[in-house]
Amino acid sequence: PGLGRFMLGTTSASDDGDFTLQPGGGVDDYQVSLAMGSATASYGFSVPPAKAGPMPDIALNYNSLRVDGISNLRNNQPGWAGIGWSLETGYVLERMDQTESGDLTGGNSQFFLVLNGVDSRLVPADGQANLFVLQDDPRWRVERLQSANANHPDTQREYWRVTTPDGTQYRFGGEFDDETGADLNSAFYVPVWDQTLCSAVVYKVCNQVWRWNLDRVEDANGNVVVYTYAQETNWYSSVYVPTYVHPNKLVQYVRGGYPARIEYTRKAGDGGVAPTDKVEFSVAPRCADPNTPGLCDWPEDYYDTPGDLACSGSGPCGQQEPTFWITQKLSQVTTHVWDTATSGWRGVDRWDLAYAFPTPPPYVDPTYGFPVPPDPFLDDLYGRYRKLELQSVTRRSPDRAQSLPPVSYSYTFLENRRNYDFDQYYHFPMYLSRLASVRNELGGL
């Protein structure tokens, strides 16, 4: 495996990107927006119909604007579905201020909602502290509430509820299943230093949620959809944490995560009745090739993952601020229905996702117009800008005995807007891939 692909090292904010910033069925569509100039595409996953009430709408969505906005000044690790692609269930995100030491702090936070294709900032309603409206749609009622569960990871036990005009309620970061009590891992937390929020703690550091994920949808008739998540955690050294709390002053936080399971056809308040339908998401290591020995070594084979920002709880750790990134990629989506004859789950559909880490084209000397010759040092630099790229989606039967031809994706590299100095090894231009064409199951474009 390529020795020294991260030999230059990545700091929390560097030419590789600023990792201290929170990341914010068939081919249904591929088009170019005349208004925005963006190319979009989608792949929808068909799910078993609900016996009653709502069911999840799951799709991979591509938008070239996600790639256009990538720079070394932002968190530029693509999501778990590859560059330009997203598969989101919905969330409320908090943007916090950062202290000079690197710790985050509350007080002047801004909140944003992503749900059902809506992406909007939340603004207080009539000056109220815990009632909000969407900046772009005031008809949705948004409430910031407090959980009664003392085990909620947020020190203030905060979660969110959105009510739409049809009476459907969406809960974010409630963390626990109302019917079963199961931990849904929907609240992604980070330690903050704050005199007010952490007033009960002597050294004024406590956990606050930075991303509340959608974990429950309940319609006006009491039909429920429940979402469960997987979390990736990390540690960093906080200057505010005394050594009697941790000898290396370490604190733990959730650096990222993704949906793990969606269960539906359930009734509110009926904890004794299991759901009849579910969707599961499987992940694989975000390395060059998780199935080939020697191509999935940590961290050198994780091309777009800042492995040198990882710390364990045993310390010591040179990181003095939280960073946000993941080590996994979405590898499989499966759907299931409950089979009363066997009293077990029966698979319905399966989709396998394939990826690559393509190498950007050779850099061309802007003065003389010739490509830079191969060089091990420069090859290492190329590796630092190799991003996870979705290559294909293949629909199969649950036992893999039958499958359709894959839907495949082709890309082209374009240079992102970025100031660079060709004479400085650390400042090469950033070439990133954009979706160029989609080939469907029948071979058509």
% of the chain surpassing 70 pLDDT? 83
* Residue 226 pLDDT: 98
Whether the predicted pLDDT of 80 surpasses 70: yes
pLDDT bin (cut points 50, 70, 90) of residue 377 is low
- Does residue 380 register a pLDDT over 70? no
> Is 1 inside a domain boundary?
no
In sequence order, the β-bridge partners of residue 224 are 218, 266
Lowest-confidence region among 78-82, 198-202, 252-256 = 198-202
What pLDDT is stored for residue 25 in this prediction?
40
Query: Is 445 contained in some domain?
Result: no
Tally of domains within the chain: 1
pLDDT at 323 over 80: yes
**Pairwise pLDDT comparison (370 vs 318), residue with the higher score:** 318
Q: Which residue has the higher pLDDT, 164 or 365?
A: 164
DSSP per-residue letters across 262-282: EEEEEETT-TTS--SEEEEEE
**HEC secondary structure over 380-406:** HHHHHCCCCEEEEEEEECCCCCCECCC
Is 396 in contact with 352 (CB distance < 8 Å)?
yes
Residue 266: strand pairing partners = 224
Tell me whether residue 39 is in a domain: yes
Most confident of 298-302, 389-393, 395-399: 389-393
Cα–Cα distance for residue pair 435/62, rounded to 1 Å: 8
Would 126 be classed as within a structural domain? yes
Write down how long the chain is.
Answer: 445
d(CA 217, CA 227): 9
Per the structure, the complete domain to which residue 271 belongs is given by: 13-439
The pLDDT score that the predictor gives to residue 133 is 92
Residue 211 has pLDDT above 90, yes or no: yes
Place of tokens 């100095």: 421
Q: Which long-range contacts (CB under 8 A, 24 or more apart) does 149-156 make?
A: 149/175, 149/176, 151/175, 151/176, 152/176, 152/187, 153/187, 153/189, 153/207, 153/209, 154/187, 154/189, 154/207, 154/208, 154/209, 155/197, 155/198, 155/200, 155/206, 155/207, 155/208, 156/197, 156/208
Residue 28: the pLDDT is 40
Residue 6 falls inside a structural domain:
no
Q: Of 52-61, 138-147, 376-385, 404-413, where does mean pLDDT reach its minimum?
A: 376-385
pLDDT in tens, 291-306: 888 899 999 899 999 9
Asked if 105 contacts 97 with a C-beta cutoff of 8 angstroms, the reply is yes
Please give the residue that has the higher pLDDT: either 202 or 32.
Answer: 202
Q: Does some domain include residue 7?
A: no
pLDDT tops 50 at residue 223: yes
Question: Quick one: average pLDDT of 47-58?
Answer: 95
Is there a domain that residue 53 lies in? yes
| pLDDT, tens digit (0-9, with 9 covering 90-100), for 142-201 | 999 999 999 999 999 999 999 999 999 999 999 999 999 999 999 999 999 888 889 989
Is position 22 within any domain?
yes
